[in-house]
């Protein structure tokens, strides 16, 4: 997909860029806020399941370049796919510190928890109504995103 624009004039230079600034529009800010709500929002009495996310890629796999595996993480979530979203939402996002993104307005979509070849999801328990959606146990790595100011 290209972000090239056409003005209709033959002589206009098309460098394939637009004047957009990522992460600062009202829509981008709303999407970021929605992502945070989706990662932790739970209705009272909602039935949740407990899942364990376990790293399965070998230690020398290229996926770990720049983000060391965080070990097992246990989450309360609606489904196994939702467990990946919950774990990714709990990670540090570049918008929370003074750092620059590689692409996009958030780094949540690039989380290794969402990669089925890096982490597998194992169901531990079903049908709990006494939990809030989120991480129950496990350490999420902070140093995977470097601030631009030290």
Span of 31-40, 58-67, 94-103, 113-122 with lowest mean pLDDT: 94-103
Q: Give pTM, 2 decimals.
A: 0.62
Per cent of the chain over pLDDT 90 is 17
Tens digit of pLDDT for each residue in 97-147?
554 555 555 555 667 888 888 899 999 999 998 988 889 998 776 555 554
Q: What is the pLDDT of residue 1?
A: 46
Q: Do residues 69 and 53 touch, judged by C-beta distance below 8 A?
A: no
Q: What is the pLDDT of residue 60?
A: 84
17 compared with 59, residue with greater pLDDT:
59
Q: What is the pLDDT of residue 46?
A: 82
Q: What is the pLDDT of residue 49?
A: 93
6 has pLDDT over 70: no
Task: Tell me how many degrees the CA angle 116-146-132 measures, rounded to the nearest 5.
Answer: 50
Q: Using alpha carbons, select from 87, 95, 78, 67 the residue that is nearest to residue 131.
A: 78
148 compared with 124, residue with greater pLDDT:
124
């Amino acid at each position: 997909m290209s972000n090239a624009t056409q003005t209709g004039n033959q002589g206009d230079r098309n460098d394939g860029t637009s004047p957009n600034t990522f992460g600062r529009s009202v829509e981008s800010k709303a999407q970021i806020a929605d992502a945070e709500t989706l990662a932790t929002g739970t209705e009272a009495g909602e039935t949740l399941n407990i899942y364990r996310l376990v790293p399965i890629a070998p230690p020398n796999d290229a996926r770990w370049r720049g983000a060391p595996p965080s070990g097992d993480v246990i989450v309360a979530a609606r489904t196994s796919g939702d467990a990946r979203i919950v774990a990714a939402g709990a990670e540090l996002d570049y918008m929370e510190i003074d750092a620059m993104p590689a692409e996009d307005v958030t780094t949540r979509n690039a989380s290794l928890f969402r990669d089925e070849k890096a982490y597998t999801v194992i169901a531990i328990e079903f049908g709990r109504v006494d939990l809030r959606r989120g991480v129950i146990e496990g350490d999420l790595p902070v140093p995977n995103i470097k601030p631009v100011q030290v």
